[in-house]
């Protein structure tokens, strides 16, 4: 009964391909996030959704498109993958976008572009 | 421009002793701070937090100290245990930034507790 689960855990693909990463949380939270951790281990937010509405949209190439079909799911679709997209992508959730409740993280998706 | 800095990439401590992990920040608008712990191949796990209205928060073996004038916080682990070996991330947010209350993260400090 994992709280925040991401699939796949590993993703190896060719440059130029399109891929999706899925995230689901069973904590009943109303806010979900996507983070990117690059090779320098820097954890940076990409997107955040609150009750299926986009509330944080950082400077991310529009090849990245998040989709939240419901409060418990936030998927990330990436078009035309580039070498620089290689990173670990973490999904997280929390209760309340403007509260100080801590975020709960999934175990990450390791994306490698060949 | 790194607004949250953890200047020590790694720290090694003997089991039973105190571990002190440091974090500095530059944005005076930050008013809430969190520490997360991360094991390899897992996501970060929330450990402890502190609001800027306090200067200390304690939870079992973990205590966080906040020095607002110095824009500095530290995490103390006493006594340190081998299971505490992990990467520790400091994160901060501006609670008054409306919907843009994103967490700003440090680069982490890798703690090794030796038996």
Quote the tokens at residue B95: 């609670």
pLDDT in tens, A60-69: 899 999 999 9
- B84 CA to chain A: closest CA distance, Å? 18
Quote the tokens at residue B54: 């306090």
Q: Is B60 helix (H, G, I), strand (E, B) or coil?
A: coil
Task: Please list every residue in chain A whose beta carbon sits closer than 8 Å to the beta carbon of residue B108.
Answer: 41
Confidence of residue B94 (pLDDT cuts 50, 70, 90): confident
Confidence of residue B98 (pLDDT cuts 50, 70, 90): low
pLDDT in tens, A25-56: 999 999 999 999 988 788 999 999 988 888 88
Q: Which residues of A touch chain B, with CB atoms under 8 Å apart?
A: 4, 40-45, 48, 50, 55-56, 58, 90, 92, 97-98, 100, 102-108
Query: Taking residues B59-64, what's their average pLDDT?
Result: 98
Instruction: Please report the pLDDT score of residue B6 as a whole number.
Output: 96
Instruction: Please report the pLDDT score of residue A1 as a whole number.
Output: 63
A contact test, residue of B10, B32, B102, B108 with most A CBs within 10 A: B102
**Among chain B residues, CA nearest to A47:** B102
Query: Taking residues B35-45, what's their average pLDDT?
Result: 95
The beta-carbon contacts of A83-87 under 8 Å, at least 24 apart in sequence, are: A83/A15, A83/A113, A85/A111, A85/A113, A86/A39, A86/A111, A86/A112, A86/A113, A87/A36, A87/A37, A87/A38, A87/A39, A87/A111
Task: Please list every residue in chain A whose beta carbon sits closer than 8 Å to the beta carbon of residue B89.
Answer: 43
């Amino acid at each position: 009964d994992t709280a925040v689960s991401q699939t796949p855990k590993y993703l190896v693909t060719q440059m130029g391909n399109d891929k999706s990463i899925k995230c689901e949380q069973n904590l009943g939270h109303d806010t979900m996030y996507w983070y990117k951790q690059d090779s320098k281990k820097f954890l940076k937010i990409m997107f955040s959704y609150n009750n299926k509405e986009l509330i944080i949209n950082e400077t991310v190439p529009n090849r990245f498109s998040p989709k939240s079909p419901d409060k418990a799911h936030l998927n990330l679709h990436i078009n035309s993958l580039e070498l620089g997209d290689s990173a670990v992508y973490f999904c997280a959730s929390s209760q309340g976008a403007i509260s100080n409740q801590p975020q709960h993280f999934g175990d990450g998706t390791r994306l490698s572009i060949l | 421009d790194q607004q949250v800095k953890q200047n020590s990439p790694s720290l090694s401590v003997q089991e039973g002793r105190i571990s002190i992990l440091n974090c500095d920040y530059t944005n005076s608008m930050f008013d809430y701070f969190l520490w997360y712990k991360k094991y390899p191949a897992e996501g970060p796990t929330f450990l402890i937090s502190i609001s800027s209205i306090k200067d200390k928060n304690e939870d079992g073996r973990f205590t966080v100290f906040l020095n607002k004038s110095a824009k500095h916080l530290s995490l103390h682990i006493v006594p340190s245990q081998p299971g505490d070996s992990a990467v520790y991330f400091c994160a901060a947010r501006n609670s008054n930034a409306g919907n843009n209350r994103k967490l700003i993260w440090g680069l982490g400090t890798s703690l090794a507790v030796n038996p």
